[in-house]
């Protein structure tokens, strides 16, 4: 039986609980593909799963990791073979990315643009598919609309700013440091506000001539609700997709939302059925990937790279809120010959 190294933890807790363990290499089943992983990336939900504080307590894979980039090693029965053995792919996963090999449904694979390394490519699946889903499938963003993007320098935020621009909408971002705001502006945000030193809702109202924003992408939650509703335009859509702030809400939220005729929409990607994810991946390949391939018009933002052995340091770094864009885990070294 083939073995592989993965990042593992036995007990819920801090980053120090993470260690490298050998487990049997999985075999692809019906319409699944085995990938040799070169790089994976961190997501906030990895931190919650490690602490077992994630809203969904049952996971398909107890190994962390929601995305990976690598090469196809083996196809399970029933695969269409769109990505043959040896193809360079990036994948949306339901877990298991923090390991030397991972299994994923064939329909969750995307081709890696030829100019990209595995490190760059693995910054795409979870953040960009989430941002695409939020803007287009959930908020149904229209040309010319204004979008307020909280945590603008996060993995999801950096993708959402660029995708809003691609849709000819007007992104406005918030973040916690001048450096992060600078990145948001460089990526195309029309206005940027530091929530630590200014009231973003006042600033948004000033910037929009008192009209507010049509869409809010909110991964903060309860601690932002009043400011969000205040700067939401009439008939606006407030999309809640994370709870980095608080989940408790106090006050007359319903009244204020009703007076704006606002919609509160919520979404999670991970718990969606396979069919939904497959359709999302197909739409992304068709509508967004060409803009990444040609001229690098859109670019995934890589903050830093850690070797797999330093996984605990990578988790601590994300917990300190210092990253701008994605934190990558290099699972194995990439050789120049891998870059074709």
Binding site for ligand NAP (CB under 6 A): 43-45, 126-127, 130, 151, 153-156, 175-177, 180, 219-220, 241-242, 244-245, 267-269, 318, 321, 323
Dist CA 259 CA 241 (whole Å): 23
DSSP label of 257: H
In the complex, minimum distance from the CB of residue 127 to ligand NAP, in angstroms, rounded to a whole number: 5
* CB of 103 or CB of 173, closer to ligand NAP: 173
* CB of 73 or CB of 278, closer to ligand NAP: 278
Closest-CB residue for ligand NAP? Answer: 242
In the complex, minimum distance from the CB of residue 187 to ligand NAP, in angstroms, rounded to a whole number: 14
Cβ-contact 204, 177 below 8 angstroms: no
* CB of 23 or CB of 265, closer to ligand NAP: 265
CA triplet 173, 178, 183: central angle to 5 degrees? 55
In the complex, minimum distance from the CB of residue 176 to ligand NAP, in angstroms, rounded to a whole number: 3
Mention every residue, 6+ apart, whose C-beta is less than 8 A from residue 90: 67, 68, 69, 109, 110, 111, 112, 121, 122, 124, 125
Q: In Å, how far are 18, 145, 214, 237, 292 from 190, measured between CA atoms?
A: 40, 12, 15, 19, 21
* CB of 76 or CB of 176, closer to ligand NAP: 176
In the complex, minimum distance from the CB of residue 145 to ligand NAP, in angstroms, rounded to a whole number: 21
Dist CA 128 CA 122 (whole Å): 10
In the complex, minimum distance from the CB of residue 301 to ligand NAP, in angstroms, rounded to a whole number: 9
* CB of 48 or CB of 87, closer to ligand NAP: 48
């Amino acid at each position: 039986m083939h073995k592989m190294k993965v990042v593992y933890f036995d007990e819920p807790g801090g980053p120090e609980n993470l260690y490298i363990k050998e487990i049997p290499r999985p075999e692809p089943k019906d319409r699944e593909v085995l990938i040799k992983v070169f790089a994976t990336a961190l997501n906030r939900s990895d931190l919650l799963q490690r602490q077992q504080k994630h809203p969904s307590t049952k996971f398909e894979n107890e190994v962390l990791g929601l995305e990976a980039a690598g090469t196809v090693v083996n196809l399970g029965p029933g695969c269409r073979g769109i990505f043959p053995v040896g193809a360079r792919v990036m994948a949306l996963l339901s877990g298991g990315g923090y390991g030397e090999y991972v299994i994923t449904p064939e329909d969750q694979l995307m081709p890696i643009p030829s100019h990209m390394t595995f490190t760059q490519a693995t910054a795409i699946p979870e953040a960009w598919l989430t941002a695409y889903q939020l803007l287009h499938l959930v908020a149904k963003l229209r040309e010319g609309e204004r979008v307020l993007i909280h945590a603008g320098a996060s993995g999801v935020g950096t993708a959402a700013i660029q995708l809003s621009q691609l849709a000819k909408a007007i992104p406005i971002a918030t973040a916690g440091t001048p450096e992060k705001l600078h990145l948001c502006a460089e990526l195309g945000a029309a206005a940027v506000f530091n929530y630590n030193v200014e009231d973003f809702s006042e600033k948004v109202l000033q910037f929009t001539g008192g009209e507010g924003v049509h869409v809010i992408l909110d991964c903060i939650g309860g601690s932002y609700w009043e400011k969000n509703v205040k700067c939401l335009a009439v008939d606006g859509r407030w999309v809640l997709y994370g709870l980095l702030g608080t989940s408790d809400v106090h006050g007359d939220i319903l009244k204020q939302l009703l007076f704006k005729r606002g919609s509160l929409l919520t979404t999670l990607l991970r718990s969606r059925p396979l069919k939904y994810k497959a359709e999302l991946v197909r739409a992304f390949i068709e509508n967004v990937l060409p803009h990444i391939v040609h001229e690098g018009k859109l670019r995934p933002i890589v903050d830093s790279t850690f070797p797999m052995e330093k996984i605990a340091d990578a988790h601590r770094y994300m917990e300190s809120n210092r990253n701008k864009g994605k934190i990558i885990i290099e699972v194995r070294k990439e050789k120049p010959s891998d870059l074709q």
